[in-house]
Amino acid sequence: MARWEPNAPERLVAAALGLFEERGYEATTVIEIAERAGLTKSTFFRYFTDKREVLFGGETVAGLLAEGILAAPPEATPLEAVAHALVIVGAQGFRAEYRDFSSRRRTVIATNPELLEREALKGLGLTAALAGALEERGIPFLISCVAAELGALTLKVSYERWCVDTASIDFSDIAIRTLGELQAAAAYVVASMVISTGES
Amino acid sequence: MARWEPNAPERLVAAALGLFEERGYEATTVIEIAERAGLTKSTFFRYFTDKREVLFGGETVAGLLAEGILAAPPEATPLEAVAHALVIVGAQGFRAEYRDFSSRRRTVIATNPELLEREALKGLGLTAALAGALEERGIPFLISCVAAELGALTLKVSYERWCVDTASIDFSDIAIRTLGELQAAAAYVVASMVISTGES
């Protein structure tokens, strides 16, 4: 039986981020991460499938988004359900006390193509989680897809803003403001096109 | 100097697809693909970085999309520019004679997580290509992002439809019809939300 280690995932994440900042992502090994956290390599792999995954904390945000969509009031429109989910992410995921950590994490990810690739794939998982939960509410497929894309784009832009914004560290505030801006942008985009008949 | 081989990339792609269908993606090696194409392993790696890449034909579609956006008339709205790009992709990329090949390719990709992952990343590259070209037209950042997401979603849904549709094999027709449907879906999504002030 493995010994129970308190806060093992949190210690591993903190150790990994520190080492990536000091030595770079490439030059850091899983063994070094485990050692700095006072844990073993096998404990590392109990929580994370590989070195990249240590910065992507499982499926937490996708789960919060899906829960948030499904917990929105029955009369909520698709985008109101998305707004509800974003507020849940701010309250339970991207909390103010994690902002500095998130900002450091973002800087490390930006320096490494492998990490950027993993982040991109995680982003697609968030879109899929939103779309799936919206469809579960009985919203038609294409409408769910569009609302999910707007929600995922809002999350991405809001996360960037949250990491660098000096005026506010409240993720929910930033996300709702961003969703409003993207709603306005989307209204402009869809209003200003005359669909052609396909001849060109 | 390497000997010049006519149509080497096309022969490699056809050989790879046939082998993936017969034996599965995992069980096929690059050497076997090259042998069936009557070429060498080093010729394979001159055109493709790895086994997965053989089904993802370089950056052709991303390039066509960007060209199409930039070649749209100066007075075109963002979504009209996107429509222009989709028609270019239909005329120069997803031509009718490639439909059966694309349909087979899609079936192979759907069976393998590694191929699905590569396809997802390529999809993000298409969104980035659309957004970048729209910004080059002087369209503001958030509007470019939204129009690019709608364009990429249109491309994805249209490609699925093109591969399975029995009524039409004209990609441009399918894409323009799909863009119209997504425009309507987006109009519904953005019209039906009352943005809250962030309290929840």
Among A190, A195, A196, A197, pick the best mutation site for testing chain B contact (most B Cβ within 10 A). A190
pLDDT interval class at B199 (50, 70, 90):
very low
Render pLDDT for A29-80 as a digit per residue (tens, 0 to 9).
999 999 999 999 999 999 999 999 999 875 689 999 999 999 999 999 999 9
Q: Do B79 and A172 make contact, defined as CB atoms within 8 angstroms?
A: no
Give B37's contacts (C-beta < 8 A, 6+ positions apart): B8, B11, B12, B14, B15
DSSP B169: -
d(CA A15, CA A43): 13
Q: Could you tell me if B101 and B17 are in contact, meaning their C-beta atoms sit under 8 angstroms apart?
A: yes
Q: What is the pLDDT of residues B129-150, one digit of tens each?
A: 999 999 999 999 999 999 999 9
- Tell me whether residues B181 and A142 touch, CB distance under 8 A: yes
- SS3 state of residue A99: helix
Class of residue A117 by CB neighbours under 10 A (exposed 0-12, middle 13-18, buried 19+) = middle
What are the phi and psi torsion angles at B69 (to 5°)? -65, -45
Tell me the pLDDT of chain A averaged across its residues: 90
CA B189-B195-B200 angle, 5° bins: 120
Q: What is the mean pLDDT of residues A150-157?
A: 96
The contacts of residue B107 (CB under 8 Å, 6+ apart) are B21
Residue A70's Cβ-count burial label (10 Å; 0-12, 13-18, 19+) is middle
Share of chain B above pLDDT 70, in %: 93
Q: What is the DSSP string of A108-177?
A: HHHT-HHHHHHHHHHHHHHHHHHHHHHHHTT--HHHHHHHHHHHHHHHHHHHHHHHH-SS---HHHHHHH
Cβ partners under 8 Å of residue A142, min gap 6: B157, B181, B182, B185
Round to whole Å and give the CA distance between B27 and B161. Answer: 29
Nearest CA in chain A to B117: A121
A197:B191 CB<8 A: no
User: How high is the pLDDT of residue B122?
Assistant: 87
**Per-residue confidence (pLDDT) for residue B98, from 0 to 100:** 87
Contact B157 A150 (CB under 8 A): no
Question: Average pLDDT of B108-135?
Answer: 91
SS3 A94: coil
Calculate the alpha carbon distances from A74 to A126, A127, A146 in Å.
Answer: 22, 21, 19
Tokens (6 digits) for B102: 């694309």
- Within 10 angstroms of residue A7's Cβ, the number of other Cβ atoms is 10
What pLDDT is recorded for position B198? 44
Residue A5 pLDDT grade (very low, low, confident, very high; cuts 50, 70, 90): confident
Tell me the per-residue pLDDT of A129-145, one tens digit each, with 9 for 90 and over.
Answer: 999 999 999 999 999 99
Question: What gap in Å lies between CA B169 and CA B90, rounded to an integer?
Answer: 10
Residue A195: the pLDDT is 58
d(CA B63, CA B65): 5
- Rounded to a whole number of angstroms, the distance from the CA of B47 to the nearest CA of chain A is 21
| pLDDT for position A199 | 43
Residue A149 has pLDDT above 50, yes or no: yes
| Distances in whole angstroms, Cα of residue A18 to Cα of each of A24, A47, A107, A108, A156 | 9, 18, 12, 10, 24
The shortest C-alpha distance from A198 to chain B (Å) reads 5
Q: Residue A178 corresponds to which tokens in the numbers above? A: 């961003």
pLDDT(B1) > 60: no
Per-residue pLDDT, B5: 74
In this model, does residue B60 exceed pLDDT 90?
no
A122: confidence class by pLDDT, cuts 50, 70, 90: confident
- A4 φ/ψ sector (left φ>0, alpha ψ -120 to 50, else beta): beta
- Rounded to an integer, the average pLDDT of B53-67 is 87
ipTM of the prediction = 0.83
A85, A65 Cβ separation under 8 angstroms: yes
Amino acid found at A130: L
Q: Do B198 and A142 touch (CB under 8 A)?
A: no
Closest-approach residue (CA) in chain A for B178:
A142
Query: What's the rounded Cα separation, in Å, for the pair B77 and A22?
Result: 47
> Does the pLDDT at position A111 exceed 60?
yes
- Cα distance between residue B46 and residue B37, in whole Å: 14
Mind telling me how many Å the CA of A142 is from chain B's nearest CA? 6
The reply to whether residue A198 touches residue B172, judged by beta carbons under 8 angstroms, is yes
The 3-state DSSP composition of chain B as helix, strand, coil percent (nearest 5) reads 70, 0, 30
Yes or no: say if A15 and A37 are a contact pair by the CB < 8 Å rule: yes
Q: What is the arithmetic mean of pLDDT over A115-129?
A: 89
